Amino acid sequence: MHTSLDILKKYWGYSSFKPLQGEIIDSVIEGEDTFALLPTGGGKSICYQIPVMMKKGIGVVISPLIALMQDQVHHLQKKGIKAIALTSGIKYAELDTLLDNCIYGNYKFLYLSPERLQQDIVQERLKQMSINLIAVDEAHCISQWGSDFRPSYKKISVLRELFPSIPMIALTASATKIVVADIINELELFQPKIFKQSFYRSNLAYRVIHAGDKHHNILQILEKHPGSSIIYTRNRKTTIELDDFLNDHGHRTTYYHGGVDAKEKTKRFKQWITNDIRIMVATNAFGMGVDKPDVRTVIHYDIPESIESYFQEAGRAGRDGKLSHAFLLKNQNDHQRLHNQFIKVLPNIEAVKTIYRKLCNYFQISYGEGEHTTHEFDFNSFCKTYGFGTLLTYNTLQFLDRCEVIRFTQRFSQKNHLQIIISGSQVLRFIANNSTYELIIKTILRSYSNIFDEKVAINIPDLASKTDIDEKAIIAILNTLQEQKILEFSHQLSDAVLIFLVPREDERTINKIKPILIEQNESKIKKVQSILKFSRDHTKCKSRQLLHYFGEKDTFDCEICSFCIDAKNLNINNISQKQVETDIIKLLTERKMSSRDLTKQLHYPEKLVLQVLRKMNELRIIKINHDNNYQIG
């Protein structure tokens, strides 16, 4: 029987565990339900991987993102450990074979999405497996108070019903006390052992900057702080515009958002992870599960919607332990933008009732009917039919999904497919002779790099946003270009599937979930207010502010954040330079000393000591000898 440390050395090459890893692993080995709250880069995956390796049988891991699962499986396979990820797009016959492999093929890890877990074939085959552990990664996604809530995570508890005696471990990098309690309740963890590591990051400098010109500030930051970088924006349009701006100023950048097709995402991620491209400009669709140790800067172009989101995204810098920076840029417009983007579009109870009633009318569902009926759903057409704002409607449908009134499944990637079937030079000649189509064709070329090679999924609303052309007009243009043999274009009328889970009862249906809506809206407002307060509060250390938010009370100033740096500069201005000169002369009278030695001996800010040394040297009060030591002049 190998010990956990033996397995760590053999497969991971480390001689010791990071803080709390050993204790968490021991808890899992002892068969206890376990909750691990470790900061980004704290080594969460080892906490469930090693216990699975120490026991007979297979570990089942629930994970929210395909890229995250594939990355974990890839790393395990490189170590010679048999692992499978059942992602979307796998055909039934292949799924059948892969599940058989898990039962009979001596596999150690099965990674599943929460959606895949709901399939009958998956649940039936799981019953035949010798499961030794259930791990729920990114567990905050199960909490309605978490920043990355996923409605599908609510159904993970089916594993507790199927395997009541199998230990379970929940892992996350950021959670308040409310979220921790909610996760434990949702997963039905039995008297879990809770391990929480401090969120303090000694090497990460949180810098909040009031930016009159954010583009200019970003250029300054990138020049001053070389190395790999992530720049977060809040929408796709800004992502593309900022990527163009930085490329125009000589930086090697690429961009990443939910509308980029899968192959292009993989290509761009690889370019960034291998440092072929220095800067990744991205929406919050990028980052979960990314384990790049040498990210030197994370820059938030916009204030995110919560401290949880900010902390997780900022925490992707400096995982190698070296000094790194997280910059948050803000200006006077951010308060109103956050209000418009996250608060103004929160549905109240009347909006939910109205949209639900119109949804039923849209599909001609009678009162008392509709339960378990499935419908192709054109989201934008629905909004236009009734004059609803898209963000308010989307948030309402997400809320109804969370409350299991409906199941709202988006499938934008399957909606429209396009391929240009002439050469690049022919496209340029066509544009020169048909300027009407120049904007839409160039936008497509910039958005989808492999458009000449194969049919790719395109997002019509995204193109409409970039070109300021109506969606119907874009579809008409693409159909015209298809007739002219410029491209091939397939268009579906629906962009989502909607399933009614309960009979239509209008107000009675919605009144049951009214308390949940009120609580969720209050929670969202508090989160926005908290991040705004963090961005404005210049009275205390930024690191301490974050730690206090997550419930840590015994904290101290980090000395490297924007507040601490400003405080040091203020102290420099208040210290008498004459006193510093006197103390330097006293030390140099005794012996010759380097600037480093002087800085250590003198209890003044380093910047001030160096400033006074330069001045004294210029006045020939002191001088530098051939050993680079200072002496009395």
Quick one: three-class SS letters along 562-612? HHHHHHHHHHHHHCCHHHHHHHHHHHHHHCCECHHHHHHHCCCCHHHHHHH
3-state class of 545 per DSSP?
helix
Distance in angstroms (rounded) separating the CA atoms of residues 590 and 323? 35
Helix, strand, coil tally for the chain in percent (to 5): 50, 15, 35
Enumerate the β-bridge partners of residue 206. 326
Distance in angstroms (rounded) separating the CA atoms of residues 302 and 528? 13
What do you get for the CA distance between the two ends of the chain, in Å? 71
Q: Which two tokens stand for residue 559?
A: 């000395």
Write out 204-259 in H/E/C secondary structure.
EEEEEEECCCHHHHHHHHHHHCCCEEEEECCCHHHHHHHHHHHHHCCCCEEEECCC
Give the pLDDT confidence score for residue 288 in this predicted structure.
65
Cβ atoms within 10 Å of 601's Cβ, excluding its own: 14
Closest CA to 527 of 341, 395, 349: 341
Give the pLDDT confidence score for residue 403 in this predicted structure.
85
Give the pLDDT confidence score for residue 217 in this predicted structure.
94
Output the CA torsion 51→57→62→68 (10° steps): 70
Give the pLDDT confidence score for residue 238 in this predicted structure.
92
Distance in angstroms (rounded) separating the CA atoms of residues 12 and 3? 14
Give the pLDDT confidence score for residue 414 in this predicted structure.
46
Q: CA separation (Å) from 497 to 16, 375, 409?
A: 49, 6, 5
CB 111 within 8 A of CB 68: no
Closest CA to 399 of 337, 361, 351, 339: 351
Give the pLDDT confidence score for residue 572 in this predicted structure.
64
- Kind of pairing between the strands at 131-136 and 58-62: parallel
Closest CA to 346 of 527, 171, 224: 527
Residue 510 burial (10 A CB sphere; 0-12, 13-18, 19+): buried
Residue 619 burial (10 A CB sphere; 0-12, 13-18, 19+): exposed
Helix and strand numbers (H, E) in the chain are 28, 21
Q: What is the pTM of this model?
A: 0.70
Cβ atoms within 10 Å of 538's Cβ, excluding its own: 12
Q: Which residues of the chain have pLDDT under 70?
A: 1, 88-89, 146-151, 288-289, 410-415, 492-495, 570-574
3-state class of 458 per DSSP?
strand
Give the pLDDT confidence score for residue 412 in this predicted structure.
44
